[in-house]
């Protein structure tokens, strides 16, 4: 794939924004068992394999931070959504690099 995600954010930046009280629109694309093991508070859950059929659940006017375990699946999600006109940001490093609490 030639697509490159141009907008990225680090897990530390996301955590800091949340700590400062910012409302972020986040979508976690991990599988249900991964989600159940812990996720970022306030994130929405749409597994990557269901993303194409659940586009109607996303706010096309908002910047969406995509989250996964390592940043790879969220990168694929960014590619898919970007092609559909969504404003997406990949959380690089994923939850492997997350140091704040999960719910």
Residue 79, SS3?
helix
CA distance 58 to 103: 22
Q: pLDDT tens across 64-103, in order?
A: 999 999 999 999 999 999 999 999 999 999 999 999 999 9
Q: pLDDT tens across 37-68, in order?
A: 999 999 999 999 999 999 999 999 999 999 99
Predicted TM-score (pTM) above 0.85: yes
CATH class of 8-97: alpha beta
> In sequence order, what are the beta bridge partners of 79?
none
Where helices occur in 1-103 by DSSP H, the ranges are 11-19, 32-37, 72-83
**Domain spans of the chain?**
8-97
Residues that are catalytic? 68
């Amino acid at each position: 794939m030639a697509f490159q995600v141009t907008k990225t954010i680090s897990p530390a930046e996301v955590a800091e924004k949340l700590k400062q009280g910012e409302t972020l629109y986040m979508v976690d694309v991990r599988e249900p068992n991964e989600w159940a093991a812990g996720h970022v508070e306030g994130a929405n859950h749409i597994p990557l394999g269901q993303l194409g059929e659940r586009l109607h659940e996303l706010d096309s006017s908002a910047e969406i931070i995509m989250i996964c375990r390592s940043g790879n699946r969220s990168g694929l999600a960014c590619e898919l959504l970007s092609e559909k006109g969504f404003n997406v940001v990949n959380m690089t490093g994923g939850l492997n690099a997350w140091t704040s609490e999960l719910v």
